[in-house]
Structure 1
Amino acid sequence: MFDAAGVDHVVVSVAGEDFAYADRVRYPPRIVPGTRTTRFLADFSGEERVLRVDARSASIPPEDIVFDARVALACGVMGEVTPETLLRMSQRARHVLADAQCLLRAVDGEGRVWNQRLEDTPYAALLGHLHVLKASEEEARALDLDAVRARTCVVITGGRKGSTVLTARDSVHLPSWPVEEVDPTGAGDCFLAGFTLGLLRGWPLTKCAELANWFGAQAVTQVGVPRVDVSKLPDVLR
């Protein structure tokens, strides 16, 4: 996404010895010997998707964060970003955006993924170090929204319903862009990329969310790794 938008960036990540795509990505992860890459098994047999953890990678230590940045994204999938690493990111970047899934996800005795309450995690004390916390509607149910929005901006994504930006003073809903959904995989990551691009442009939070909605919408029209053509941006978002 950032390559397509011409944004200079680096990626800090970790993976296990089974990671098979190191030669296909611009910034390969650091391989941790003796570990496996995080992998989920998704069960769609019920009314809601159920995720089970098949393997978990090591976490990213604070000392891996060696770059200064205007915006940093904390977008792990299962606890890869520790509280100490998140704090380190806030010290090296002007703004930090975090995906709630990397702060809330826990595993029960049968390997099923569930969202613990934010106030029951060590991340609750770090909200003041975040510029934006992005959460799905399901993840938002694990947040005390009044308490969280008093300390940072919360952006709730709702798929076809669009997104809602919550700050201490305001609540603004942004509708989604009309597209035909094929595969929702990667929509959240694309949303964060779009929001980051808006921040880099110096836009207000609501317009950042509007751009993020567009990026997320492009992702769901494709199967596999999403690719976004920024030349197709609507005039209002240029």
Structure 2
Amino acid sequence: MSGRASCDVLVVGNYCHDVLPSGGGGAVHTLGGSAAYISSVFDAAGVDHAVVSVAGEDFAYADRVRYPPRIVPGTRTTRFLADFSQAERVLRVDARSASIPPEDIRFDARVALACGVMGEVPPETLLRMSQRAQHVLADAQGLLRSLDDQGRVWNQRLEDTPFAALLGHLHVLKASEDEARAMDVDAVRAQTCLVVTRGAKGCTVLTSRDTLQVPSWPVKEVDPTGAGDCFLAGFTLGLLRAWPLARCAELANWFGAQAVTQVGVPRLEVTRLPVEPR
């Protein structure tokens, strides 16, 4: 990224190591993290973007990413272990990377995405992003996630985090239904656009004035990992095209649907990209 000063989209969040269940009862070890999934969308769509991330000395996927992370000596890469055997997905973390400091944000951008997987985008870095980008979109998982004593992921209440005071700096906040239950939805939508993803039911876009229900694209789900990340990238792509919110959400649903049909970071066929709303 040497010599660059700006890009259309700045992606801020760490890559990680995912351990996902395979169909035969084993496990698949693969590149993960929101930055990886989001980059797959932007690469497929030809979006000018850059990634700011850090990782540990054990990062094993430098040859699979266009923008390698900054390696922090003496640390490990965030590692998620996913369990889909129960009614709801259970995530555990057995290693956690360092945070991304504000001085790592050296780019101006039309849009910046705060897509942390485990709290690696602190409030001061989010503020720095808002100073360098026209719009900031954030994934609620990076604001809410915490760990219990067994390393299981759970969501804090948004009002109990320092990010509650920063909602005015966001253009869009994306949240899953579970994450939306950890916030005062009316208070959030009064300050920013809140987009709640609902899996096979599509998504809901909430602004201070309107509530929009946008249906999903029917597909056969194989692995839900990364669907929200691809959704956020698709929504960003719509914003870059200056589309209205409902159309951005429709495009976001399409990318999220493509993600669940594959295990790991998806290979996307943009020749099938919907150009016009249904």
Same fold (TM over 0.5): yes
**Cα distance, 1:109 vs. partner?**
2.2
Do the aligned partners of residues 237 and 70 (structure 1) sit closer, same or farther apart at CA in structure 2, a change above 3 Å counting?
farther
Q: Could you say which residue in structure 2 is the equivalent of 1:7?
A: 47
**Cα distance, 1:45 vs. partner?**
4.1
Q: Could you say which residue in structure 2 is the equivalent of 1:165?
A: 205
TM-score (normalizing by structure 1):
0.97
Alignment of 1:31-180 (within 5 A): 31-180=71-220
Alignment of 1:195-214 (within 5 A): 195-214=235-254
One-letter identity of the residue aligned with 1:122: P
**Cα distance, 1:236 vs. partner?**
1.2
Contact 2:251 2:274 in 1 (8 A): no
One-letter identity of the residue aligned with 1:232: R
Indicate the percent of aligned positions where both proteins have the same amino acid: 84
Q: Aligned match of 1:28 in 39, 61, 68?
A: 68
Question: Using the alignment, how far apart are the partners of 2:45 and 2:262 within structure 1?
Answer: 18
**Cα distance, 1:237 vs. partner?**
4.8
Question: Using the alignment, how far apart are the partners of 1:124 and 1:138 within structure 2?
Answer: 17
What are the ranges of 5 or more consecutive residues in structure 1 without an aligned counterpart? Answer: none
One-letter identity of the residue aligned with 1:59: S
Query: Is 1:190 aligned to residue 212 of structure 2?
Result: no
Question: Of Structure 1 and Structure 2, which has the larger fraction of its residues in strand?
Answer: 2
> Mean Cα displacement is larger for which, 60-69 or 185-194?
185-194
Cα-Cα RMSD:
1.3
Give deviations 1:183-225, integer Å, cap 9, x for gaps. Answer: 2121111101100100100111121111100111111112221
Contact 2:110 2:133 in 1 (8 A): yes
Structure with higher RCO (Cα < 8 A, 6+ apart): 2
Give deviations 1:152-185, integer Å, cap 9, x for gaps. Answer: 0000001100000000111111000111112212
Q: Could you say which residue in structure 1 is the equivalent of 2:268?
A: 228
**Cα distance, 1:6 vs. partner?**
1.4
Question: Using the alignment, how far apart are the partners of 1:190 and 1:172 within structure 2?
Answer: 20
TM-score (normalizing by structure 2):
0.83
What are the ranges of 5 or more consecutive residues in structure 2 without an aligned counterpart? Answer: 1-40
